[in-house]
């Protein structure tokens, strides 16, 4: 049994080809997959409107037989809201996006997600170290991954972010993928790997400070709970978890010592968020935003101490709102935009799931709830939508996780210089 490893550019392991390979050389960036006038203009695959998802691979490409898509939270929320929670309509919309764009790239949110599947063919010059038959998860966004669906998404009811399907996807030479571990269920691995950039950058930033106070907006969610666990691991002196209502507070309190204080506040209300964080031991030296709705920039900035750092992981983040908001508040804070990649991010996130029973339990409860939910037409996911009252609940449960060694995170001790991360999806 092979250990899980992130597969990154520069890997030297050579894989045997497993299928048709075109004679033409491909661009390691995937430029040859961009179609129409954008190709001549040198547009990158993520920014392109449409990609060529034909199954023939270039010598440095890999083709994956897709088994499951994981739509990012912001994209699924928008689709569910637009179609009134009608699963059939949501399924048809996702099918149309993929068919028309050659990738899963929501034109409204600009986000996509990630996928899992089995390696079907490997070009002889692929540097990714993958082999036919490997069960993998891509660690790059579906917005830049050529994708074709073969079964019309017939096995998906449209009522959850995880989409069972049959299709194929193409991975470029300069991409990232991970061989799935044998010791974790696939849905759990997929959920963790989808947000693994968030705890990695949180770890890096917190590690670069001396016992900081850390506030996590959306701390009961997937990226939020992992980020809280990573902050604890990296040496945070106090963690303040911000959630929208009592239901989420109870879920976070049930996760033991992930947060020293659980704060109930609507993340879209800046003054209320700042006041609640301050009452819980803030302001924060590091604020991590993992909330998948717009309008959370101001609260995060106000809740952060002068000279502190705000890390934005949500795909709903507005750059202009954050930049102009900080300027208007005369807030001396460093703001980082998570991009989903930090060296060692997959190992760190999976390590937290394996060694921290509290964060694993929270993930499993979320996955169980998502599987059980069958909202009817006219309903939308409620997470982070309910207006909240403000309050603080203390939790003090002693627990120590195994510490990561400095060398296990490439550049992890480098302070606040990184600009990588990830949110609830890509």
- What would the pLDDT profile of 323-365 be if each residue is shown by its tens digit? 999 999 999 999 999 888 898 999 999 999 999 999 999 999 9
**Residue 420 reports pLDDT greater than 60:** no
Angle 389-390-391 from CA coordinates, rounded to 5°:
125
Residue 299 CB neighbour total at 10 angstroms: 29
pLDDT digits (tens, 9 = 90+) for 205-215: 999 999 999 99
Q: Which two tokens stand for residue 370?
A: 């998502």
What CA–CA distance (Å, rounded) separates 129 from 375? 42
pLDDT digits (tens, 9 = 90+) for 216-236: 999 999 999 999 999 999 999
pLDDT at position 287 is 98
User: Between 422 and 173, where is the model more confident?
Assistant: 173
What CA–CA distance (Å, rounded) separates 223 from 361? 14
pLDDT at position 374 is 44
| Predicted confidence band of residue 87 (pLDDT cuts 50, 70, 90) | very high
Q: pLDDT exceeding 70 applies to what percent of the chain?
A: 81
**Residue 404 reports pLDDT greater than 60:** no
For residue 150, give the 3-state DSSP assignment: coil
User: Between 2 and 63, where is the model more confident?
Assistant: 63
| Predicted confidence band of residue 423 (pLDDT cuts 50, 70, 90) | very low
Length of the chain: 426
User: Between 393 and 314, where is the model more confident?
Assistant: 314
Highest mean pLDDT among 22-31, 52-61, 374-383: 52-61
pLDDT digits (tens, 9 = 90+) for 113-134: 999 999 999 999 999 999 999 9
| Predicted confidence band of residue 316 (pLDDT cuts 50, 70, 90) | confident
Q: Which two tokens stand for residue 190?
A: 């997929």
Token pair 């666990």 in the structure block, residue: 229
Average pLDDT over residues 142-161: 97
What CA–CA distance (Å, rounded) separates 403 from 352? 10
Nearest Cα neighbor of 339 from 355, 319, 321, 361 is 319
Asked whether 212 and 70 are in contact (CB, 8 A), the reply is no
pLDDT at position 190 is 83
How confident is the prediction for the chain on average, in pLDDT? 84
Asked whether 104 and 112 are in contact (CB, 8 A), the reply is yes
What CA–CA distance (Å, rounded) separates 218 from 246? 13
User: Between 29 and 19, where is the model more confident?
Assistant: 29
| Predicted confidence band of residue 414 (pLDDT cuts 50, 70, 90) | very low
Nearest Cα neighbor of 311 from 227, 222, 237, 387 is 227
Residue 187 CB neighbour total at 10 angstroms: 19
Angle 300-212-358 from CA coordinates, rounded to 5°:
85
| Predicted confidence band of residue 16 (pLDDT cuts 50, 70, 90) | very low
Nearest Cα neighbor of 160 from 243, 106, 94, 116 is 94
What CA–CA distance (Å, rounded) separates 335 from 318? 12
pLDDT at position 373 is 59
Residue 356 CB neighbour total at 10 angstroms: 25
- Residue 358: which residues within 8 A CB-CB, separation 6 or more? 229, 255, 256, 257, 258, 399
pLDDT at position 24 is 53
- Residue 175: which residues within 8 A CB-CB, separation 6 or more? 9, 30, 128, 138, 140, 145
| Predicted confidence band of residue 295 (pLDDT cuts 50, 70, 90) | very high
């Amino acid at each position: 049994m092979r250990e899980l490893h992130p597969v990154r550019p520069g890997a030297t392991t050579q894989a045997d080809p497993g299928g048709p390979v075109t004679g033409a050389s491909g661009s390691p960036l995937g430029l040859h997959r961009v179609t129409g006038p954008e190709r001549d203009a040198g547009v990158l695959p993520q920014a392109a409107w449409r990609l060529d998802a034909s199954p023939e691979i270039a010598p440095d490409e890999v083709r994956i037989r897709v088994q499951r898509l994981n739509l990012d939270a912001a994209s699924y929320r928008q689709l569910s809201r637009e179609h009134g929670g009608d699963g059939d309509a949501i399924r048809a919309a996702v099918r149309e996006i993929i068919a028309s764009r050659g990738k899963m790239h929501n034109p409204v949110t600009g986000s996509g997600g990630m996928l899992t599947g089995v390696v079907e063919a490997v070009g002889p010059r692929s540097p990714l170290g993958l082999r036919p038959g490997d069960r993998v998860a891509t660690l790059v966004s579906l917005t830049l991954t050529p994708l074709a669906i073969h079964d019309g998404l017939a096995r998906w009811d449209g009522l959850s972010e995880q989409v069972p399907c049959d299709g194929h996807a193409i991975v470029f030479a300069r991409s990232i993928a991970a061989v799935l571990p044998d010791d974790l269920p696939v849905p759990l691995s997929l959920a963790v790997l989808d947000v693994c950039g968030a705890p990695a950058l949180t770890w890096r930033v917190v590690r670069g400070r001396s016992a900081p106070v850390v506030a996590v907006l959306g701390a009961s969610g997937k990226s939020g709970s992992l980020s809280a666990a990573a902050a604890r691991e990296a040496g945070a002196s106090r963690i303040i978890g911000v959630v929208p209502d009592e239901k989420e507070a109870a879920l976070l309190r049930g996760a033991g010592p992930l947060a020293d204080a659980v704060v109930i506040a609507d993340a879209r209300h800046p003054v209320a968020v700042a006041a609640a964080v301050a009452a819980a031991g803030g302001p924060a030296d590091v604020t991590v935003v993992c909330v998948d709705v717009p309008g959370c920039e101001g609260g995060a900035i106000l809740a952060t101490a002068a000279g502190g750092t705000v890390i934005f992981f949500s795909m709903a983040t507005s750059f202009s709102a954050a930049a102009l908001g900080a300027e208007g508040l005369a807030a001396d804070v460093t703001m980082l935009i998570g991009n989903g990649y930090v060296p060692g991010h997959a190992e760190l996130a999976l390590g937290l799931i394996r060694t921290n029973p509290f964060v694993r339990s929270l993930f499993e409860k979320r996955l169980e709830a998502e599987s059980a939910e069958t909202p009817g037409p006219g309903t939308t996911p409620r997470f982070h939508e309910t207006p909240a009252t403000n309050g603080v609940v203390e939790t003090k449960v002693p627990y120590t996780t195994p510490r990561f060694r400095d060398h296990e995170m490439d550049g992890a001790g480098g302070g606040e210089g990184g600009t990588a991360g990830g949110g609830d999806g890509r």
